[in-house]
């Protein structure tokens, strides 16, 4: 599926979905929900007789999409499911008919452990679904107090600092995405998200590369990458 045909419009969620008195989410005119197949590997999606997914997903309505940022698991109502390719990656696409139940309940369980899985998927391994802009990435854990019952570190500034060095210019991996932002609307563009485990791209000295979590990758990076700076400890070893 060609994602360039979709236009970002956050209002489609509020105009098409209705919360019932018994805390269910129903679609008025029909909609689709999209999540990466990769969610399954990190227990962020459970596909079986009952389907549960991380509430960080895209709602698609008539060629427009909005993004849900609920960092908790949601159970889906009856729907048609298919696997499609979007932006070169496999995604689950759930289709709901007009008037059908979308979320079984909006009263989601506050699971603290799931935040580790989210960080692992998005930050440690640098996965960036096509619907996640730079703003969405930086605000991914903004509402963990509401959804999961605790704040990440010191709150939003901490997560900003975690994402900023990983978000890069899709055309030049060496350029951080924040340097491309010239007008406010640029935050709605999608950056290339580096894995925090990618020691070759994230470290600037050989000492840091060799002390990273992936020794084999670190050695390769130290041999092939130019050194941006020398650590004092490196100079001591050389002497």
Tokens of 125: 């391994």
57 assigned to some structural domain: yes
Residues 163 and 204 in one domain: no
Displacement of CA 105 from its chain's centroid (Å):
23
Residues 160 and 204 in one domain: no
pTM for this model (two decimals): 0.80
Summarised one tens digit per residue, pLDDT across range 188-213 is 888 888 887 666 555 555 555 555 55
Query: Does the pLDDT of residue 111 top 60, yes or no?
Result: yes
- Residue 220: band (very low, low, confident or very high) from pLDDT cuts 50, 70, 90: very low
179 assigned to some structural domain: no
Domains contained in the chain, number: 2
| Distance in angstroms (rounded) separating the CA atoms of residues 56 and 37 | 13
Residues 136 and 208 in one domain: no
Is 144 in a helix, a strand, or coil? helix
Summarised one tens digit per residue, pLDDT across range 158-194 is 888 888 888 888 888 888 888 888 888 888 888 888 8
Residues 134 and 204 in one domain: no
What's the full length of the chain, in residues? Answer: 239
Is 39 in a helix, a strand, or coil? helix
Domain housing 207? 199-238
Residues 22 and 136 in one domain: yes
Residues 93 and 162 in one domain: yes
Classify burial at 29, counting beta carbons within 10 Å of its beta carbon; exposed 0-12, middle 13-18, buried 19 or more: middle
182 assigned to some structural domain: no
96 and 33 in contact (C-beta within 8 Å)?
yes
Residues 59 and 125 in one domain: yes
138 assigned to some structural domain: yes
Q: What is the mean pLDDT of the chain?
A: 85
117 assigned to some structural domain: yes
């Amino acid at each position: 599926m060609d994602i360039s045909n979709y236009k970002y419009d956050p209002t489609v969620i509020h105009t098409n979905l209705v919360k019932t008195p018994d805390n269910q989410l129903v679609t008025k005119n029909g909609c689709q929900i999209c999540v990466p197949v990769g969610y399954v590997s990190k227990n962020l999606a459970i596909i079986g007789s009952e389907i549960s997914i991380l509430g960080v997903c895209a709602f698609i309505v008539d060629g427009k999409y909005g993004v849900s940022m609920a960092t908790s698991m949601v159970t889906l109502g009856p729907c048609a499911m298919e696997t499609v390719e979007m932006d070169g990656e496999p995604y689950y696409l759930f289709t709901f008919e007009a008037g059908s139940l979308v979320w079984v309940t909006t009263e989601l369980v506050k699971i603290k452990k799931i935040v580790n899985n989210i960080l692992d998927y998005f930050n440690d391994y640098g996965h960036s679904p096509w619907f996640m802009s730079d703003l969405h990435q930086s605000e991914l854990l903004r509402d963990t107090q509401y959804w999961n019952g605790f704040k990440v570190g010191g709150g939003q500034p901490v997560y900003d600092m975690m994402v900023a060095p990983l978000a890069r210019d899709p055309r030049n991996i060496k350029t951080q995405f924040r340097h491309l932002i010239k007008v406010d609307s640029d935050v709605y563009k999608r950056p290339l998200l580096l894995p925090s485990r990618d020691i070759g791209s994230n470290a600037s000295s050989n000492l840091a590369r060799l002390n990273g979590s992936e020794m084999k990758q670190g050695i390769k990076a130290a041999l092939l990458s130019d050194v941006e700076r020398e650590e004092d400890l490196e100079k001591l070893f050389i002497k």
